[in-house]
């Protein structure tokens, strides 16, 4: 496992997300109250690469992003869909090094 630098903290608006391309893989990276989370960008319900553009928030204290297409919620820490636990997206390890955001691959 190695850490790859993606971008700096200031590249992400507060409480919002961006998308990073790692090889062929698209990763949605979110910054919520200064904490960083990373899950797959592909919305399994629409097969479109859009999760990074969803609204983040909390539902019963679970941090989640809402798909911008059909509004299902995905747990930012596990990638599991809150509406249907049999559906999930990949989940990535992330860390910050100073101002830099890094992902484990």
Instruction: List interacting residues with other proteins (CB under 8 A).
Output: 6-7, 11-16, 18-21, 26, 29, 32-33, 42, 46-50, 53-61, 63-64, 66, 68-69, 71, 73
Spell out a b/e string for 28-42, using b for 16 or more CB atoms within 10 Å of the CB, else e.
Answer: bbbbbeeebbbbbbb
Residue 84, both tokens: 């249907």
Provide the minimum distance between the beta carbon of 66 and other proteins in the complex, in angstroms, as a whole number.
4
In this structure, how many other beta carbons lie within 10 angstroms of the beta carbon of residue 95? 11
Provide the minimum distance between the beta carbon of 79 and other proteins in the complex, in angstroms, as a whole number.
17
Q: Give phi and psi for 10, each to the nearest 5.
A: -75, -10
Closest CB to other proteins among 88 and 100?
Answer: 100
Closest CB to other proteins among 43 and 91?
Answer: 43
Closest CB to other proteins among 60 and 86?
Answer: 60
* Closest C-alpha to 102, from 14, 1, 32: 1
């Amino acid at each position: 496992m190695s850490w790859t630098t993606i971008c700096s903290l200031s590249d992400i608006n507060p409480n919002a997300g961006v998308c990073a391309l790692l090889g062929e893989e698209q990763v949605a990276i979110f910054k919520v109250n200064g904490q960083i989370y990373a899950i797959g960008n592909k919305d399994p319900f629409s097969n479109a690469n859009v999760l990074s553009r969803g609204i983040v928030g909390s539902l019963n204290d679970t941090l989640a992003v809402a798909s911008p297409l059909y509004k299902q919620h995905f747990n930012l820490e596990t990638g599991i869909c809150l509406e249907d636990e049999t559906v999930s997206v990949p989940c990535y390890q992330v860390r910050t090094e100073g101002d830099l955001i890094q992902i484990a691959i």
